[in-house]
Each structure stands twice: as C-alpha cells, then as structure tokens.
C-alpha cells in the first residue's frame, strides 16, 4: 500500500487492486491534497468510456500520525454521479471540512456497457487549517522596530513557533531568526526577533520581512511585510522670510535631492519587479511614494507657521513633479511643532527651517492636527 505524502500537491491515489490502473480500465483517478481551508481534498474521476451510476462509497478513519494531526473525520460518505461520457470528469469534495489528516477506504463502482465495474480504494488526504496572521498596519508602531530587530504578530490559533527572513531593498537576504512559543492564546502579540547577517552591507535598508508562523499542531501561515523607510539626506533649501517661492539660487539643491531620491527608487523598483516575476510578491507590486514634510522656526504665530511650512513643502513637491518625478508625492506642514533644535518662542533658528524627504510604501503617521495631501 502506498500513502500520499502531505507535501504532494496533486495526484496520488493508492489502490488495493493495482489492476484499476491498467490499460483499458473505464475510469482514471486523481486526488487533490493537501489543500488549505476553506477548500477540501478532492477526488477526481475521469471517464475513458461511457458509464452510468458512478458511485463512491468511503469510510473515514484515523490517518497515520506521520501525516500530522488527525482530522477527526469518521463514518461513511457516499458520492454519486448519474452519467459520464468519454473524457468527462466527476469531482467530489471529500469529508465535512475538518482540518487534519484522514485515511479513506472504500469502493468505486459504475455501470459500463451494461456490466458492473468496481474497484476498492484506499488513500489519505490532508486539509490544512487556515491560520490568520494579524499585524499592525502602521509600521511606525510599538509592534515593529527594525533598529531593534523585531516584529510582533498575532495568530488565530495557539502559537507554536515562527521563522523570519529579512531582505534588503537590493533583494539580498540580510538576516533571519527563529523563535518557539508556548501555546500563547489566539490574538496574543508574538515577538519574532531576527539577527542581521555579518555579510549584510551597512548601507542596506530593510525592504521585506518574510514571516512563517506555526500553531501548536504544526499548521502554518505566511506573511510578507514591507517596512521600507528611507530618510533621504539632502541640503535644505533656503526660503525668503514668509515666502514659499523656490529661489533660482536654491534649485541646484533640489536637483541634487531629486537625484538621490531617484537613485533609491530605481533600486527598490528593480527589486520589487524581480520579486514579482519570481512570484514572491503576489498581486499588485507595492508602490513607493515620496513624503515631503515642511518645518519652520518659532518666529511668528503657530497657525501662520503651519500654513507657511505646508506651502513650502508643496512648493518642493511641485518642483520635483515639474522635473519629471513620476511617483506619488504627498506633503504636509508641521510649522514649529517638530523642531530639530528646541528653542524658545520667536527664535530665528536656521536648522529648524527645513524639509524632510521620506521614501516609503505607506503613509507615515503625522502629528495631531495635520494630514498628508497628495500633490
């Protein structure tokens, strides 16, 4: 007797009578297993001749423990199809949808040319539990810290263990980690640490976290997170007092900033496209975006400085767009509310009159009372 391995994706069917697979048999068999919920293992019967009264009678039993946790399926299951012509198929979803491994024994029969044809069958199926992985959608949160090298996720079942791989925006593996859990309850924040590889370039920026979580029974779920965040170094533009106009003498600074931004974006775009072609990125490719934040010193009123900083951030974003920058651009003004150098009121501090350029795949949080505006 031959057993279907749980990692086999498609066809595997063992027969007590191997003559069922011989040439000239009226029915061919295939089996789809393992499958994740909400799908079910599927028995597929293909007719090589006209037949009627196709019937499948199966008894569910406990599977070999090597296949994983038992499903608990039991009792008799019957499936029928009235008629099949040559080349037609009958598809039967097996069981009642309980996750785990099941051993099946039974009989397949049909009327072929006015005669009864039947064969005994025995096989195994595996239905894997669908695990839901939860994460904080705000990557700037207590549940993710790239500098401290950890991410926290939740699982919809008692936790078993986790594995993580960390990749840079150049597409190279930067580090990895493993951690065991003690059956923590569903919904518990699970901390998953990693260590950077000694070979990882110091200038590399984390782009993707590939995390696989296992519950106590060995069922697994996988998630990719993209906490990519690049603060682009640049020389700040000097504006005239109370003005948001970009002076001609300052445009060279913006041109150099745009060059640096484009260099980073070209690199991450190549990596994301490669991953998409390899099937690592499923669905739409994550979209890099530029966020421009304007700041002022403490000279003037708070409301006026908010307006001025927002206008200056918009002026910079507009300049980049006019220079051909193709990615989405967002801007916001913080006024004097997030100074680089803390000062008293009405202090002319040049270091506080600045703009920040941030590249990321999702909108960073803003301070209270402000929000991003798309150019």
DSSP-derived secondary structure for 259-314: HHHHHHHHHHHHHHHHHHHHTSS-SSPP--EEEEEEE--SSS-HHHHHHHHHHHHH
Rounded-to-integer distance, Cα 37 and Cα 175, Å: 31
pLDDT one-digit tens code per residue, 184-236: 999 999 999 999 987 655 667 999 999 999 998 788 889 999 999 999 999 99
**DSSP codes joined into one string, 80-103:** EEEEE-TT-EEEEE-SSS--EEEE
Tokens of 151: 């991410």
Provide the angle, in degrees to the nearest 10, between the axes of the packed helices 302-322 and 251-278.
70
Rounded-to-integer distance, Cα 89 and Cα 70, Å: 29
Plot region of 93 (φ>0 → left; ψ -120 to 50 → alpha; else → beta): beta
Domains of the chain as residue ranges with CATH: 18-127 (2.60.40.10), 133-227 (2.60.40.4070), 230-374 (3.30.1330.60)
pLDDT one-digit tens code per residue, 231-256: 999 999 988 878 899 999 999 999 99
Distance of CA 259 to the CA centre of its chain: 31
pLDDT one-digit tens code per residue, 127-144: 988 889 999 988 888 999
Rounded-to-integer distance, Cα 302 and Cα 309, Å: 10
Q: How confident is the model at residue 13 (pLDDT cuts 50, 70, 90)?
A: very low
Q: Return the number of other C-beta atoms located less than 10 Å from residue 252's C-beta.
A: 11
Q: What pLDDT does 341 receive?
A: 92
Q: Is the pLDDT of residue 272 over 90?
A: yes
The stretch 148-153 carries a mean pLDDT of: 96
């Amino acid at each position: 007797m031959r057993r279907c391995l749980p990692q086999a994706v498609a066809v595997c069917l063992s027969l007590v009578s191997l003559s069922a697979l011989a040439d000239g048999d009226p029915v061919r068999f295939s089996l789809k297993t393992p499958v994740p919920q909400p799908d079910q293992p599927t028995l597929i019967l293909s007719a090589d001749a006209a037949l009627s009264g196709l019937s499948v009678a199966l008894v569910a039993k406990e599977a070999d423990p090597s296949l994983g946790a038992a499903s608990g399926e039991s009792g008799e299951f019957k499936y029928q199809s009235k008629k099949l012509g040559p080349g037609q198929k009958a598809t039967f979803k097996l069981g009642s949808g309980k996750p785990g491994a099941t051993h099946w024994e039974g009989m397949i029969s049909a009327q072929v040319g006015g005669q009864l044809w039947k064969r005994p069958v025995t096989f195994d199926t595996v239905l894997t539990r669908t695990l839901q992985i939860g994460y904080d959608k705000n990557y700037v949160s207590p549940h993710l810290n790239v500098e401290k090298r950890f991410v926290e996720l939740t699982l919809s079942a008692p936790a078993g263990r986790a594995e993580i791989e960390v990749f840079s925006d150049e597409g190279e593996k930067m580090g990895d980690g493993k951690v065991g859990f003690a059956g923590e309850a569903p919904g518990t924040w699970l901390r998953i640490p990693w260590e950077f590889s000694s070979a990882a370039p110091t200038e590399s920026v984390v782009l993707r976290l590939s995390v696989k979580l296992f519950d106590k029974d060995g069922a697994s779920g996988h998630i990719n997170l993209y906490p990519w965040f690049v603060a682009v170094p640049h020389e700040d533009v000097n504006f005239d007092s109370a003005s948001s106009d970009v002076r001609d003498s300052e445009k060279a600074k913006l041109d150099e900033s745009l060059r640096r931004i484009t260099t980073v974006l070209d690199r991450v775009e190549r990596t994301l496209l490669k991953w998409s072609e390899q099937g690592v990125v499923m669905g739409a490719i994550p979209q890099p975006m530029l966020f421009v934040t304007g700041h002022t010193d403490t000279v003037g009123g708070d409301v006026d400085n908010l307006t001025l900083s927002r206008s200056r951030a918009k002026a910079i974003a507009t300049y980049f767009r006019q220079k051909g920058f193709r990615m989405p651009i967002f801007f916001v003004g913080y006024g004097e509310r997030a100074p680089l150098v803390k000062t008293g009121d009405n202090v002319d501090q040049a270091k506080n009159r600045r703009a920040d350029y941030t590249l990321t795949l999702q909108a960073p949080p803003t301070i209270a009372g402000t929000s991003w505006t798309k150019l």
